Chain A
Amino acid sequence: MTLTLDAIRECLEGSVPSTIATCAQDGTPNVTYVSQVDYVDPQHVALSFQFFNKTRENILANPQATAVVAHPESAATYRLFLRYLRTESDGVLFQRMKAKLAGIASHSGMAGVFKLRGADIYRVLRIEAIPGPAVTTAGPRRNLLAALRATCARLNACGDLAALFDETLAALEEQFGIRHAMMLMLDEKQQRLYTVASRGYPASGVGSEIALGHGVIGVAAEHGAPIRIAHMTSEYAYGRTQRETTAAAGLADQLQREIPFPGLPEAHSQLAVPVLAAGRLAGVLYVESPEDRRYTYDDEDAMVAFAAQLGTSMQLLRQAEDAEDPAREPAAPQASAGAAVTVRRYVADDSVFIDDDYLIKGVAGAILWKLLSDHLRSGRADFTNRELRLDPSLHLPDVADNLEARLILLARRLAERCDFMAIEKTGRGRFRLKVGRPLKLVDMARPTAA
């Protein structure tokens, strides 16, 4: 049977360093270690190009090369016969390798030394198993196909987007054993992602944001490709995210507007997978682990297939929300009691504070402000998604507005931060605002340092 690259992908995780042999024009052989032999597709691998050296000189003159790779558990080794095609120094593949190399470098004490200059793409002409003893391996820890099947069935049974997000994360834990995960949605206008659901953290972090291009989540979103790292690396860590992004935005005195990102303090394995709905980036599914090498190529495949199902489900539920349920009986007038609460809205970023506590900003903040204003003016409590879509004060994009996701975000922030206000879904495309205390609304023209 002919060996395929897919069958030996575990050898391409970068755990065991590989060697590459090349040959100069005059016939002189050269052999060296290479940090990464990465799987591109069933016919191609990419080797990390980090230093200008003899290998580079040789492949440019004579594209024939052989690489030897070893399985990190069985020690089985394989010889790959390769032909150099080209070098990519930007784009999806480059970004994927750069992230992976950062993990490898940091794990092997070479952070700052290993720097990816390019991804050298080779066609795999032939693979040879090198005869020799091998260690018996335990096999995969679970059947990923079975997990994927069960997970997709669970998604199909979800009736609304909030349930879909929660079911996604519950299924990841129960079917895949992934205990730390979150779902982030894209805010196209702000070029940021915001967390709408998380699982496995002391604080949910709902509402926390990641800039496009920042860390594995931001890079996955920016390039529309899964990004996976097998070892802890400061280069892609989220520890200082909030402070840095705030400082960059020139708002260093307003840290209280940031919701801390919920991620693990020391994520060793990270995998971020873009979620597309109707062909557009809708968000990112992110999973992490305190273990090294927790996610393999197979896990990545499973997550990508799962994310495809998730994106389709999101799109179908979004369309279902557009078809509004008939209006129900209006809510009975709500009794509000207790001391009046001051709600401030800062126009500059639509941030909303309840007394002095930061709640939310951006589109979700603008939505809350509109609801509260209407409520105070007319006593209204029932609203429709459609009227929000048509309201110019919310500045929603014409397409892919993710309104439902923003309402989920708002409802969850209220549930976490405020015990006298809530947003409840009352049907497809309809929801109700509940307010239990007298409110005083104060519109702030400009943000000021607290």
Chain B
Amino acid sequence: MESSAAAASPLSAVQAQFIQGGVAMVVASSSAQRLPSQARAVGCSVSSDRRRVTMLLRRSQCAALLEDIARSRALAVVFCQPSTHRTLQIKARDAVAQPPASVDAAALSRQADGFHRELAPLGYSAEWTRALLGYAPDDLVAVSFTPLEIFSQTPGPRAGERVA
């Protein structure tokens, strides 16, 4: 069951690990007037069958984005690893925003630490990363979706190519 369910998700195990590994994450949607909205996410979790991805965002930073997702259910998320420039974009059409069922503070902390390890060699302090990813638990909102299309955006001639 597990393998067939996983096979149905376009998200590979390697990609799932990558997007949960402490990379930069930004979620975007758009209004009825096609005005784009975007906000940085502080956490990402993937269901065990890889069919559902949940991003954690700070509600105070993304009012327009949440409105747009509620209206269209369409979103795009970009994940980027600073040290390698490896970049993935995932698109979905069934996104739902809701209060997080539970906040795994340890997992968020692991991702922030991972992100900091990426940025430290570039000269950014731990304080800087904490400021960028800092959150109040009651400010968090969970945006969940089923990955529909996956694109590689790693800079180079193949940037923008659909990979799944």
**For chains A and B in complex, what number of residue pairs have CB atoms within 8 angstroms?**
126
Q: B159 touching A68 by the CB < 8 A rule?
A: no
Interface residues on A, range: 35 or more
What CA separation (Å) do A344 and B60 show in the bound complex? 78
What CA separation (Å) do A79 and B160 show in the bound complex? 24
What CA separation (Å) do A79 and B78 show in the bound complex? 16
Q: A132 touching B61 by the CB < 8 A rule?
A: yes
Q: A135 touching B78 by the CB < 8 A rule?
A: no
- Name A96-143 residues within 8 Å CB distance of B: 108-110, 113-114, 130-135
Q: A21-B28, A132-B131 are in contact. Are A28 and B155 (CB under 8 A)?
A: no
Contact partner, A130, options B61, B127, B155, B160, Cβ 8 Å: B61
Q: Which B residues lie within 8 Å of A53 (CB)?
A: 153, 159-160
Q: B85 touching A29 by the CB < 8 A rule?
A: no
Q: B38 touching A132 by the CB < 8 A rule?
A: no
Inter-chain pairs besides A51-B156, A75-B128, 5 sampled, C-beta below 8 Å = A21-B37, A31-B36, A51-B157, A74-B131, A113-B155
What CA separation (Å) do A157 and B138 show in the bound complex? 63
- Name A2-52 residues within 8 Å CB distance of B: 17, 19, 21-23, 25, 27-33, 35, 50-52
| Interface stretch (choices B11-19, B46-54, B68-76, B102-110) | B68-76
Q: Which A residues lie within 8 Å of B36 (CB)?
A: 21-23, 29-31, 64-66
Q: A64-B36, A132-B58, A133-B131 are in contact. Are A27 and B30 (CB under 8 A)?
A: yes
What CA separation (Å) do A131 and B57 show in the bound complex? 13
Q: Which residues of B contact A (CB under 8 A)?
A: 24, 26-30, 33-40, 58, 60-61, 68, 72, 74-78, 80, 82, 85, 87, 89, 91, 123, 125, 127-132, 134, 151, 153, 155-157, 159-160
Asked if A62 CB lies within 8 Å of chain B CBs, one says: yes
Contact partner, B160, options A51, A62, A65, A135, Cβ 8 Å: A51
Q: Which B residues lie within 8 Å of A35 (CB)?
A: 155
Asked if A437 CB lies within 8 Å of chain B CBs, one says: no
Chain A 57-92 near chain B by CB (<8 Å), digits 1 or 0: 000001011101010011101010100000000000
What CA separation (Å) do A7 and B83 show in the bound complex? 29
9 closest residue pairs by CB, A with B: A31-B28, A21-B36, A75-B131, A21-B28, A23-B30, A53-B160, A21-B38, A23-B34, A133-B134
Asked if A54 CB lies within 8 Å of chain B CBs, one says: yes
* 29 A/B residue pairs, CB under 8 Å, sorted by A: A17-B82, A21-B36, A23-B35, A25-B34, A27-B74, A28-B76, A28-B91, A29-B30, A29-B76, A30-B28, A30-B76, A30-B89, A31-B28, A31-B36, A31-B78, A31-B89, A33-B78, A33-B80, A50-B155, A51-B155, A51-B159, A66-B37, A66-B38, A73-B128, A75-B131, A113-B156, A132-B58, A133-B131, A135-B125
Q: B131 touching A134 by the CB < 8 A rule?
A: yes
Q: A51-B155, A74-B131 are in contact. Are A31 and B38 (CB under 8 A)?
A: yes
Q: Which B residues lie within 8 Å of A17 (CB)?
A: 24, 80, 82
User: What is the chain A residue whose CB lies nearest that of B157?
Assistant: A51
What CA separation (Å) do A66 and B33 show in the bound complex? 13
